[in-house]
């Protein structure tokens, strides 16, 4: 059972999870399509994570980050004047969506098989062709750098990770190699680096952009690429399965603005390294990509 570090004892998150999982929840009937509903309300409600450069709700109520910037532009094209955000951990975004707490997930949500079974995805708003997971460690503490998730699972008793999409993959790697590693989850990546510096964990791992940004911002640790074995499906905006019509009109506008280079410019504005050719993929095509078996790593 992975251990999770929290700033406020999970901010009553356990209660939130229980509420989302409660069997008696009934969603309101969807008499009108989502587009008609949000246009009538004049606002699109989105769920996001607090994780710059991908998404953030500022203290003044404004939004920033790659995903909200793209969502706001598309919402405007759809005739929706306002976008409002609620912040949750990545692990709660899909349950919150399916419990009708927000209309769509407006974070840059990693596309994974587990999530593909529960939600629909836009075309990827970010994807590249390079290794997308990196490790972090204190200088002089790692004599031989691990190259794969399998190496991490075999050689470490504790591995720090942000709560989110990659935790199940590390769990699978540990099981595949019969490793002894225990995953220590942190509610956000900055807290994870603080835990590394305090020597709560000997090594941590997160995505390329996050690790490079935190190294520049916080310093005091080294980073190196590691192969997770996971097909890099990229990340995108997520929709309820029953809102396929809304996904369709959203993606149509996404492709229109991308003809102008808008999506790539947003990535550049937030200093995101991407592969334009690798992003030429639909959300459904990304969901269909296959991972490398962990016993092959």
Tokens of 178: 């019969």
Which pLDDT belongs to residue 9?
Answer: 39
Which pLDDT belongs to residue 32?
Answer: 65
Which pLDDT belongs to residue 237?
Answer: 98
Reported as a single tens digit per residue, the pLDDT across 234-244 is 899 999 999 99
Which pLDDT belongs to residue 295?
Answer: 56
Number of other residues whose CB lies within 10 A of the CB of residue 196: 23
12-19+30-128+232-289 and 133-226 share one CATH topology? yes
Residues 6+ apart with CB under 8 A from 115: 94, 109, 121, 165, 238
74 backbone dihedrals φ, ψ, rounded to 5°: -70, -40
Reported as a single tens digit per residue, the pLDDT across 249-272 is 999 999 999 999 999 999 999 988
Contact predicate 289/233, CB 8 Å? yes
Q: Where are the beta strands (DSSP E) in the chain?
A: 3-5, 43-48, 56-57, 63-64, 82-87, 104-110, 119-121, 133-137, 158-162, 182-186, 204-207, 222-226, 235-240
Tokens of 161: 């990770």
Mean of the per-residue pLDDT values of the chain: 87
Reported as a single tens digit per residue, the pLDDT across 148-206 is 999 999 999 999 999 877 898 899 999 999 998 999 999 889 999 999 999 999 999 99
Q: What is d(CA 103, CA 98) in angstroms, rounded to the nearest whole number?
A: 9
Which pLDDT belongs to residue 16?
Answer: 44
Residues 6+ apart with CB under 8 A from 76: none
Calculate the CA 170 to chain-centre distance: 15
Which pLDDT belongs to residue 291?
Answer: 81
What does the DSSP 8-state code read for residue 297? -
Which pLDDT band, with edges at 50, 70 and 90, does 58 fall under?
A: very high
Tokens of 123: 């075309």
Segment 113-139 mean pLDDT:
90
Q: Which sequence spans correspond to the domains of the chain?
A: 12-19+30-128+232-289, 133-226
pLDDT exceeds 70 at position 226: yes
> Mind giving me the DSSP string for 273-287?
---TTTT---HHHHH
Tokens of 94: 């899909």
Please state whether beta strands 222-226 and 82-87 pair in parallel, antiparallel, or not at all (unpaired): unpaired
pLDDT exceeds 60 at position 31: no
pLDDT exceeds 70 at position 222: yes
What does pTM read for this prediction?
Answer: 0.69
pLDDT exceeds 60 at position 61: yes
Q: What is d(CA 13, CA 229) in angstroms, rounded to the nearest whole number?
A: 30
Residues 6+ apart with CB under 8 A from 189: 51, 162, 206, 210, 211, 214
Q: Coil, helix or strand for 179? A: coil
Look-up of token digits 């989110």: 164
Q: What is d(CA 267, CA 271) in angstroms, rounded to the nearest whole number?
A: 6
Segment 200-216 mean pLDDT:
92
Which pLDDT belongs to residue 129?
Answer: 65
Q: How far is CA 80 from CA 166, 252, 279, in A?
A: 33, 15, 26
Which pLDDT belongs to residue 15?
Answer: 44
Verify cis geometry, omega within 30 degrees of 0, for the bond prior to 165: no
Look at the domain 12-19+30-128+232-289 and name its fold.
Answer: D-Maltodextrin-Binding Protein; domain 2 (3.40.190)
Q: Coil, helix or strand for 16? A: helix
Class of the CATH-defined domain 133-226: alpha beta
């Amino acid at each position: 059972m992975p251990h999770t570090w929290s700033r406020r004892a999970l901010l009553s998150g356990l209660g939130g999870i229980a509420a989302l999982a409660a069997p008696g929840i009934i969603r309101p009937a969807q008499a009108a399509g989502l587009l008609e509903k949000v246009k009538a309300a004049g606002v699109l409600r989105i769920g996001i994570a607090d994780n710059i450069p991908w998404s953030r709700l500022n203290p003044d109520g404004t939004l920033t980050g790659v995903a909200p910037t793209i969502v706001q532009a598309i919402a405007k094209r759809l005739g929706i004047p306002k976008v409002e955000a609620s912040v949750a951990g990545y692990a709660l975004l899909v349950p919150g969506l399916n419990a009708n707490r927000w209309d769509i997930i407006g974070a840059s949500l990693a596309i994974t098989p587990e999530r593909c079974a529960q939600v629909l995805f836009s075309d990827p708003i970010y994807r590249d062709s390079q290794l997308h997971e990196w490790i972090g460690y204190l200088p002089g503490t790692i004599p031989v750098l691990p190259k794969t998730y399998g190496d991490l699972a075999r050689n470490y008793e504790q591995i720090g990770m942000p709560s989110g999409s990659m935790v199940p993959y590390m769990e699978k790697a540990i099981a595949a190699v019969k490793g002894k590693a225990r995953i220590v989850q942190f509610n956000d990546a900055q807290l994870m680096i603080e835990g590394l510096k305090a020597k709560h964990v000997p090594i941590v791992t997160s995505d390329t952009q996050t690790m490079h940004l935190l190294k520049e911002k916080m310093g005091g640790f080294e980073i190196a690429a590691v192969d997770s074995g996971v097909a890099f499906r990229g990340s995108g905006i997520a929709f309820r399965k029953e809102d396929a019509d809304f996904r369709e009109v959203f993606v149509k506008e996404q492709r229109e603005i991308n003809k102008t280079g808008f999506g790539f410019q947003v990535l550049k504005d937030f200093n995101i390294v991407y592969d334009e050719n690798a992003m030429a993929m639909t959300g459904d095509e990304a969901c269909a990509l296959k991972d490398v078996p962990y016993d092959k790593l």
